[in-house]
Structure 1
Amino acid sequence: MQLYKDQELKIYNSLTGEKEVFKPINEGHVGMYVCGPTVYSNVHLGNVRTFMSFDVIFRYLRHLGYKVRYVRNITDAGHLENDADVGEDKITKKARLEQIEPMEVVQRYTVDFHNVLSTLNFLPPSIEPTATGHIIEQIELVKAIIDNGFAYEVNGSVYFDVHKFNETSQYGKLSKRVLEDLIHNTRTLDGQSDKKNPQDFALWKKAEPQHIMRWPSPWGDGFPGWHLECTAMSTKYLGETFDIHGGGMDLKFPHHECEIAQNEAALGKSPVNYWMHANMLEMNGQRMAKSTGNTINPHELLSGDNDKMSKAYSPNVVRFFMAQSSYRSVLDLTDAGLLASEKGYNRLMESLGLISNLKASNASSIHINEWLKKCYEAMNDDFNTPILIANLFEGGKYINQVKEGSETLTAEDITLLEKSLNTFLFDVLGLRKDEKTQAGGGDKLAGAVDVLIKLRQEARANKDFALSDQIRDELAEVGIILKDGKDGTTFSIN
């Protein structure tokens, strides 16, 4: 279904600083590139937050009926320490410290990256290119930039001439930085003497004798610059100009700024129509950093094997927690926040489990179509997942009101409500259906609790109140709360 024809999606464009109506270059098709990980260590939870934001965006675009080509790269060479033009390659350094091959490092942490994302129910991208698999394309790109007069070669390295570029374009347009200010605030560092100006950045670096990862080029053995890799891979698979480029806020400058400059210098056109940036993840109000100990990795969060959180949290709860904040907002990871999200998630799943047992009426007192419209309006407003979730809770409230008899729904509206909740929870937000979340409340779980409720009723009838209380209390200890009412005993998951 081509739902996009009836929906007006607006995206916050980092380039213009405004929300803009989304109009793809080719109707019905979307090209989206997201900067992937540098695979020299276990994936950082902050990176997971970024990739999860774009997973939801990918899911919603597909839900609207777009054919999406989603390209997310793997950086397996050329990313130097401190994101600079000098220093050691991050992957080579890890390989040297562990006395293994660089590609062993790449393999180990690429597998870890995929395992984490699979556990959290990410959809795989359409294409996942590697930097080392596109050396030829990068060399050709450097040649074009040199031929157009925007780069120069010195001692086997090639640098982008930012000042020359700025004569015909604007370096800093994405990050809103002015070149004159950059010049004023830049110190000349040792090891950068080959550059005409400190602001120039490497397109190709000469490999010193000790540098393991190296390739032949017209300028001698070397390796590509980090910024160049994404320009080569994005334009190869999405064209010289494509719809969406995403990444973390920390990549806006210099990485994405350099991508724009490279594309304009080589191809004469701006590469991207909509730049999107996900904001940072903090923990307990502080920046996450290994140096301060204020850090937790995905494995630790999901297993509970850490001293930062009171318990383990399921992948569904982690996804739900992250979706309760806009992708453009700083998100503070706290135990209290995760516990609150877990309760909200369980409450929503409990409501969804009741829907198949609702009794239909001849008329509806609730306007489900209006409610559904609000769900789409939230997502169409720059993928506003917090507002969407607020509306989903409203849908859960409708279910409880109909169950209690204070509101009514026709069979058709019950079907629409159930379908819509399932669509937004599982297809769009990417929660994974499990035993607890199946329609009907999880038949196996509900059946087991019903057996215990009957045993408790028998105990009470036999005046064995100690056993009755024991069943209630032990269920409560595992988060299943029994509620005695005039219509019998029901349960909820806390």
Structure 2
Amino acid sequence: MALYKEQSLKIYNSINGEKEIFTPLTEGNIGMYVCGPTVYSNVHLGNCRTFISFDLVFRYLKHLGYKVRYVRNITDAGHLENDAETGEDRIAKKARIEQIEPMEVVQRYTVDFHNILQKFNNLPPSIEPTATGHIVEQIETIKTIIEKGFAYEVNGSVYFDVIKFNKDHQYGKLSGRALEDMVANTRELNAQSDKRNPQDFALWKKAEPQHIMRWPSPWSDGFPGWHLECTVMSTKYLGEEFDIHGGGMDLKFPHHECEIAQGEAATGKTPVNYWMHANMLTLNGQKMAKSTGNNILPTEIFTGDNQHLSKAYSPSAARFFMLQAHYRSILDFSDEALKASEKGFNRLMDAFRNIDNLAVSESSTLELESWRQRCYDAMNDDFNSPILIATLFDAVKFVNGIKEGEEKITSEDKSLLKDTMQAFLFDVLGLQDTVIVNEDSREKLSGAVELLINLRAQARSNKDFSTSDQIRDQLASLGIQLKDGKEGTTFSLD
């Protein structure tokens, strides 16, 4: 029997601010859409936190036995600077500055995005559609919205009519904003003169002569609105109504609000049942910003090459740090917090590795079934990873107690302890045992050094002592000491 039939999962639904018992539209199947990156620069650490949060969600739903179709898009066009209605496309701007094609920008930073998430051990989504790959579908959706009377064309651009939509629908229900207040607080800008109302947003923009990324449409050569892309890609692969839509808290308004409006206008149905939003990451108590230097890239965590960190941290330790906070809470990233988290991570891994060596008894003093259920209870409470981690730390006490003879465990309970730790540490939290990873790396390093030792021996036999000394000295500068003995040459690491 699937685990989801035994567990009752609650999800905090952003649209009403309450935890609700999760009931998928189709039993046993889940459709989940998460807004992906705009690929014009190296992936931001705050974005990584969002994608790690939804990787946790994806992993737990799969662990419960659901068949999950996880769709996460790549925005490779149409996202203008500062999330505005006017200005330059972020990707086109980068292409102009670096004097390369926009799709070179897209390729470079899509590869970076995938590489970083792979290091964090994120599972790939089921489908990863691109905005440029769905221009035809976006044009068709705009036609439908115009036919339904919720959009209008001006000078080659098409805008969504928010005030007309709001007569029979509620624009602002996700972000808790009233349209009347929005109208009262808006000053008309010259750049918005094509719109009937300042709150209206673009479904299609006519391209200026200098705009590189453009496609033909019934209205003009232009490009789609950023909000429209997600509406089209989510409903194409998950249907007009689907279970979960996720993203960062900063996308709630206007991006997700506009998605709801577009979906309801096009189909007459509310597209999403459960809205989930991950909170932001700060650095040393301040908002991350490149302009102030209060910023760190994921690769700088792994190398330690950054003014904010005293050392390098493994991707798993950094992932563990992020999961020690609930996805809806603000998390402050600092060297001290990472150090403490790394210690905790290592304690958990040590405990897990020690389970196999525990002596078994005929009886057990531990209540492992109830402990196991507490692990599920934590995740069933809106994916509460910090409570899960605290519960997993109980296993450290169990292991130490058994080793010191204060507790007893049966063979059956030992298997239950190991299986539960295995499931939650690796399958659900997505952690990796860095000792095992490091052993694999050490094996590769040994092979490379042995090759250099052989080349050095060959150089010495040819009386090429300068090459021999160069190999020895350069390895020494990297902290690898060669020792020549009767049995041959060995090496050690400083």
Q: Same fold (TM over 0.5)?
A: yes
Corresponding residue of 1:61: 61
- For 1:326 and 1:170, the matched residues in 2 are separated by 30
CA deviations on 1:409-460 (whole Å, 9 max, x unpaired) are 111001100111011000000012343489xx99x99xxxxxxxxxxxxxxx
Residue 111 of structure 1 deviates from its aligned partner by 0.4
- For 2:248 and 2:63, the matched residues in 1 are separated by 24
- For 1:183 and 1:292, the matched residues in 2 are separated by 33
Corresponding residue of 1:174: 174
**8 A Cα contact 2:70 2:127, kept in partner:** yes
**8 A Cα contact 1:353 1:437, kept in partner:** no
**8 A Cα contact 2:36 2:74, kept in partner:** yes
Q: How does 1:419-438 map to 2 (within 5 A)?
A: 419-436=419-436
Does 2:249 correspond to 1:219? no
Corresponding residue of 2:464: none
Residue 150 of structure 1 deviates from its aligned partner by 0.4
Deviates more, 1:251-260 or 1:282-291: 282-291
Corresponding residue of 1:23: 23
Corresponding residue of 1:402: 402
Corresponding residue of 1:116: 116
Does 2:374 correspond to 1:370? no
Secondary structure, aligned partner of 1:59: helix
Corresponding residue of 1:488: none
CA deviations on 1:218-271 (whole Å, 9 max, x unpaired) are 101110000000000000000000000000000000000000000000100110
Q: How does 1:15-414 map to 2 (within 5 A)?
A: 15-414=15-414
**8 A Cα contact 1:349 1:436, kept in partner:** no
Deviates more, 1:353-362 or 1:60-69: 353-362
**8 A Cα contact 1:349 1:437, kept in partner:** no
Secondary structure, aligned partner of 2:192: coil
| Gap runs ≥5 in structure 2 | 444-494
- For 1:202 and 1:122, the matched residues in 2 are separated by 33
Secondary structure, aligned partner of 2:205: strand
Secondary structure, aligned partner of 1:290: coil
- For 1:402 and 1:185, the matched residues in 2 are separated by 65
Q: How does 1:444-459 map to 2 (within 5 A)?
A: none
Secondary structure, aligned partner of 2:86: coil
- For 1:353 and 1:359, the matched residues in 2 are separated by 14
- For 1:167 and 1:205, the matched residues in 2 are separated by 25
- For 2:104 and 2:69, the matched residues in 1 are separated by 29
Counterpart code for 1:326: H
Identity of aligned residues (%): 71
**8 A Cα contact 2:38 2:79, kept in partner:** yes
CA deviations on 1:134-163 (whole Å, 9 max, x unpaired) are 001100110010000000000000000000
CA deviations on 1:298-345 (whole Å, 9 max, x unpaired) are 011111110101101001100100000000000000111100000001
Secondary structure, aligned partner of 1:320: helix
**8 A Cα contact 2:316 2:434, kept in partner:** no
Secondary structure, aligned partner of 2:129: coil
Counterpart code for 1:67: K
**8 A Cα contact 2:77 2:91, kept in partner:** yes
CA deviations on 1:5-45 (whole Å, 9 max, x unpaired) are 00000000000110000000000000000000000000000
- For 1:254 and 1:31, the matched residues in 2 are separated by 23
Question: What's the TM-score once normalised by structure 1's chain length?
Answer: 0.88
Counterpart code for 1:331: L
Counterpart code for 1:177: R
- For 2:70 and 2:372, the matched residues in 1 are separated by 27
RMSD: 1.4
Secondary structure, aligned partner of 1:302: helix
Residue 287 of structure 1 deviates from its aligned partner by 0.4
**8 A Cα contact 1:70 1:126, kept in partner:** yes
Residue 190 of structure 1 deviates from its aligned partner by 2.4
Secondary structure, aligned partner of 1:33: strand
Residue 184 of structure 1 deviates from its aligned partner by 1.4
| Gap runs ≥5 in structure 1 | 446-494
